[in-house]
Structure 1
Amino acid sequence: MPTLIGFGAILLWAALALLTSLTTRLPLFEWLALTFGLATLLSLPMLLRRGALASLRAVPVGGWVLGIVGLFGYHAFYMLALKNAPTAQAGLIAYMWPLLIVLLSMLGQPLGRWTLPVIGGALGLVGAALLVFDPAEGGFRAEYAAGYGFALVCALLWSGYSVLNRRFSAVPTVAVVVYCGAAALGGLGLSLAFEDWVTPRGLEWVGLVGLALGPMGLAFFVWDFGTKHGNVTLLGALSYFAPLLSTVLLVLAGRAQPSWALGLATLLIVGGAGLAALGLRRRAVTDAEAGVP
C-alpha cells in the first residue's frame, strides 16, 4: 500500500506540464515561490491536527536538511539548468533521477539482483528521452556545460533525497509543510535577487493553484510517505510513467500531437516497469525461501 500511495505522486506529476503551460509568462524563480507558497498555505491545516506541532519538534536536524535540500535544491537547480541550457536537453539530464533511484537503492545488493531492475530503469530512461528530447535544438554543446551540470545536480539531489528518506521514516509526513515553506522562501529570495516580478493574472492563477494542489503540493506528501515506507526501487522504475502520462494529457488537451515517439515510449516505459517489477518480485520470493525478513 505505501508503494501505491507513492505512485500517486507520479500520477500527479503527470499534470505538471499541462498546468505549467498556463503559467509560462511567469519568471522561473517567481513560479517556484508562488507554487510552493500556495502549497504551503493550502497544507497549513495539517499543522492544526492534534500532536502535529509536537511531532515536528522531534524531527532531527538531518531530517530537516534532507527534506529542504531535496525539495528546494532540486527545483532551484532545475530552474538554473533551464536558464543555462536548452529546455529539452536540461530536462533529459534531470530526468535521470528515476534511474539513479533504482541504482542507488540497489547498492549493497548482490549483482545478480541488479539485472532486471536496472534494465527496466534504463528502458524507462530511453522512453522518456523520446518524449522530452527535441532534435531541433541540436546536440549537446560545450557552451551549455553549466546548464547540463545544474541538471545533473538536480537529478542527484532528488534521487538522493528519495533513497535516503527511508532513514528518516520516523519523521512525520506533516514535515513536508515546512519543506514547502522553506522552498517558497528560497524561491522568493532568488526571484527578488535575479528577476523582475510579474503579477499573475486570469488563467495563470488557475494554473498556479492547480499546481499547488497537485504536482507541486500533494505529490510531495504522498512521495514522502511512499519513499519512507514503500519499495523505492519500484517507485524509481515507475516514475518514468510521469512524462508518458504528461504527454498523453497534452495530446488530449490539444497542446501536443500524437506521434510514433509516443507509441514507442509507451512500450519502453511499460516494458521497463514490468521488468523492474519482475526483478523485485523474484528477489522477494528468493528472500522468502531463504527466510530473509
Structure 2
Amino acid sequence: MPPLALTALGFAVGGALGLCVVMARRRGGLSLLRQPLRAWAHGVGGLFGYHALYFAALALAPPVEANLVNYAWPLLVVLLSAPVLGMPLGPRRLAGVALGALGCVLLVGPGVAGGEAGTAAPAPALGFLCAAGAALVWSLYSVTSRRLAAVPTEAVAGFCLATAALAGLAHLAFEAPVPALGAGQWLAVLLLGAGPVGAAFFLWDIGMKRGDPRLLGTLAYATPVASTLLLVVAGEGAFTGRVAAALALVAGGGWLAASARR
C-alpha cells in the first residue's frame, strides 16, 4: 500500500479507538479534546510532520541511509532533555545512548539491506535533509510534550484523527489510488491502527510526560533490534553475529542509562 494511505488508515483506526475510550470516560468525555491551539499544533505537527518528512526521505534518498539518519531521533531526545527540560545528562547516560546508537548503526546501517543501500535516488541531498528534519521534529515533539503535561493523553485521539485527515489529503495529492483491499489487508490495517499507530502514541505521550526522557530515548534504540528479532522468530531473517552484537550494545546502553543516578 502507498505509505501515506496506510498512515491515514492507521491513524484513523487509532484515533477512532482512542475516541471510544474518551467517550466512555465518566468525567471529561469529549471535552478532553478541547485543548488550546498550541496543544493541537504541537500534537498534529509532531505526528503528521514526522511521518510526512520520513516518507519523503525514503522516496528521495536511498532508504537504508535515510532510515539511519532518521534514527538520530533517540539520541536527540536524550541530548535535548538538557537544554529544553534542564535535566542533567552525565557520562553514564551519554555512554548509554552512544552504545545504543552504535548498535543501531551496526544493525540498520549501509550493507545490511544489500542492494537497497546506496542505490540511485531522485534527490538524495533533499532526502537526507528530510530524514534529519524528521528526526528533529520527533525529538522536539517528544521532549516538549513534558512542557504540555497539563494536556491529557486522551487528547492524542484528536491529534491522531487530524493526522489521518492530513495524511489522506497528502495521499490524494501525491500517491496513486489504493486498490481494493482484501480481508487480510484490512485485518493488518486494524492491527496497525490498534498498536503501532494507536496505543504506541498514547503510551509514548504518557512516557514523555511522566517518565524520564533520557532513559526512554536510550531504550528507543531497542526498536530496530526488536524488529529484527521478530523477523527471526517469524522465519524471515537469521540471527547473525551482527544481530547479536547490536543486541548486546543496545542492552548495555540501556543498562548504563537506567543505572545512572537521578
Q: TM-score, normalised by structure 2?
A: 0.91
Does 1:258 find its partner at 2:239?
Answer: yes
Deviation at 1:122, TM superposition (A): 1.5
Deviation at 1:206, TM superposition (A): 2.1
Deviation by residue 1:106-157 (Cα, 9 ceiling, x = unmatched): 23456xx432212211111111122222323445999511111111111001
Confirm or deny: 8 A CA contact 2:19 2:158 kept in the other structure: no
Aligned letter for 1:184? A
Name the structure, 1 or 2, with higher relative contact order (CA <8 Å, separation 6+): 1
Q: What is the alpha-carbon distance in structure 1 between the residues aligned to residue 224 and residue 95 of structure 2?
A: 19
Aligned letter for 1:270? A
Q: What is the alpha-carbon distance in structure 2 between the residues aligned to residue 246 and residue 225 of structure 1?
A: 23
Q: What's the secondary structure of 1:170's corresponding residue? A: coil
Q: What is the alpha-carbon distance in structure 2 between the residues aligned to residue 109 and residue 72 of structure 1?
A: 27
Matches within 5 A, 1:149-164: 149-164=129-144
Aligned letter for 2:164? A
Instruction: Work out which of the residue numbers 42, 51, 68 in structure 2 matches 1:66.
Output: 42
Which residue matches 2:192? 211
Aligned letter for 2:143? V
Which residue matches 1:147? 127
Which residue matches 1:23? none
Does 1:243 find its partner at 2:224?
Answer: yes
Confirm or deny: 8 A CA contact 1:99 1:118 kept in the other structure: no
Cα RMSD of the aligned pairs, angstroms, is 1.8
Which residue matches 1:4? none
Confirm or deny: 8 A CA contact 2:50 2:137 kept in the other structure: yes
Which residue matches 2:2? 27
Aligned letter for 1:104? L
Confirm or deny: 8 A CA contact 2:62 2:120 kept in the other structure: no
Matches within 5 A, 1:194-205: 194-199=174-179, 200-205=181-186
Q: What is the alpha-carbon distance in structure 2 between the residues aligned to residue 54 and residue 246 of structure 1?
A: 37
Which residue matches 2:213? 232
Specify every segment of 5 or more residues in structure 2 that has no aligned partner in the other structure, as ranges.
none
Deviation at 1:42, TM superposition (A): 2.1
Does 1:102 find its partner at 2:78?
Answer: yes
Q: What's the secondary structure of 1:106's corresponding residue? A: helix
Aligned letter for 1:240? Y
Q: What's the secondary structure of 1:80's corresponding residue? A: helix
Aligned letter for 1:215? P
Deviation at 1:256, TM superposition (A): 1.5
Q: What's the secondary structure of 1:134's corresponding residue? A: coil
Q: What is the alpha-carbon distance in structure 1 between the residues aligned to residue 222 and residue 109 of structure 2?
A: 16
Q: Evaluate the alpha carbon distance shift between residue 46 and residue 265 of structure 1 in structure 2; reply closer, same or farther with a 3 A threshold.
A: same
Confirm or deny: 8 A CA contact 2:103 2:246 kept in the other structure: yes
Matches within 5 A, 1:43-58: 43-48=18-23, 49-50=25-26, 51-57=28-34
Deviation at 1:197, TM superposition (A): 1.3
Q: Evaluate the alpha carbon distance shift between residue 164 and residue 140 of structure 1 in structure 2; reply closer, same or farther with a 3 A threshold.
A: farther
Aligned letter for 1:211? L
Instruction: Work out which of the residue numbers 159, 164, 169 in structure 2 matches 1:184.
Output: 164
Aligned letter for 1:212? G
Q: What is the alpha-carbon distance in structure 2 between the residues aligned to residue 190 and residue 141 of structure 1?
A: 25
Deviation at 1:208, TM superposition (A): 1.1
Which residue matches 1:20? none
Confirm or deny: 8 A CA contact 1:89 1:140 kept in the other structure: no
